[in-house]
Amino acid sequence: MNNAIHLPIFIIGFMGSGKTTLGKKLSRLADVPFIDLDQRIVETSGMSISDYFELHGENAFRDLEEKTLKSIAPDAGAFISTGGGAPCYRDNIDWMNRHGLTLYLDLNPKVILSRLITSDRSTRPLLSNMDDKQLLSYIHDKLEERSTFYKKARIHINPLKLSPKNMLELLVKETQ
Ligand code: S3P
């Protein structure tokens, strides 16, 4: 699969949909760089996402997220995993569609819940104060609110139904 991916592929989807894990696997398989948007934000701000939210608030985070996203515009192949809210702010999703291929990891709320319930919620400021019951209705509502943006992605994939290898084959076809 060497050199098969020639443009940036932005992986989008709700928290817990596996964007980072999959992005790392795909970039290894395709032999292209991997960039994690949240990680970039941590590096540039010098603090964790949770600390950033606490210190500056969500609006400032969204502005920094947009600025960081738009500073990553490789004109070569790369996989870029984005935070769950990144495509839903201002024109970010349209910008991603213009600068590369967008891949939406489409999972239903129950699957997302099962993953988030067992994850460390303290690292996700939007979820850190929620109990399990609040979490399900939050996922439901937020997913509905965000789906207008997520649906603008060029490719929609249920990651439970396609192996990374098959996913890469599909992406390669799509980018030829
Ligand atoms: C967020 C998702 C997080 C992170 C921040 C906000 C969101 O990234 O960017 O906590 O608004 O959905 P992950 O989707 O990687 O958890």
pLDDT digits (tens, 9 = 90+) for 42-72: 999 999 999 999 999 999 999 999 999 999 9
Task: With respect to residue 84, please indicate whether it lies within any of the assigned structural domains.
Answer: yes
**Which residue is closest in CA terms to ligand 1's atom 12?**
84
Pocket test for ligand 1, best of 126, 128, 149 (most atoms within 8 A of CB): 126
Task: With respect to residue 90, please indicate whether it lies within any of the assigned structural domains.
Answer: yes
Tell me the pLDDT tens digit for each residue of 80-125: 999 999 999 999 999 999 999 999 999 999 999 999 999 988 899 9
Contact 110, 39 (CB under 8 A): no
Task: With respect to residue 73, please indicate whether it lies within any of the assigned structural domains.
Answer: yes
For 107, 130, 137, the CA distances from 21, given in Å and listed in that order, are: 15, 24, 25
Q: Is the CB of 142 under 6 A from ligand 1?
A: no
Q: How far does the centroid of ligand 1 lie from the alpha carbon of residue 78, in Å?
A: 20
Structural domain containing residue 26: 8-175
Q: pLDDT at position 75, please?
A: 87
Q: pLDDT at position 122, please?
A: 87
Q: pLDDT at position 73, please?
A: 81
Task: With respect to residue 3, please indicate whether it lies within any of the assigned structural domains.
Answer: no
Domain count, the chain: 1
Task: With respect to residue 2, please indicate whether it lies within any of the assigned structural domains.
Answer: no
Q: Is the CB of 124 under 6 A from ligand 1?
A: yes
Which CATH number do you get for residue 164?
Answer: 3.40.50.300
Task: With respect to residue 132, please indicate whether it lies within any of the assigned structural domains.
Answer: yes
Q: How far does the centroid of ligand 1 lie from the alpha carbon of residue 73, in Å?
A: 20
ipTM score above 0.90: yes
Task: With respect to residue 108, please indicate whether it lies within any of the assigned structural domains.
Answer: yes
Task: With respect to residue 1, please indicate whether it lies within any of the assigned structural domains.
Answer: no
Contact 107, 19 (CB under 8 A): no
Contact 97, 50 (CB under 8 A): no
Q: Is the CB of 84 under 6 A from ligand 1?
A: yes
Pair of tokens at residue 42? 């941590």
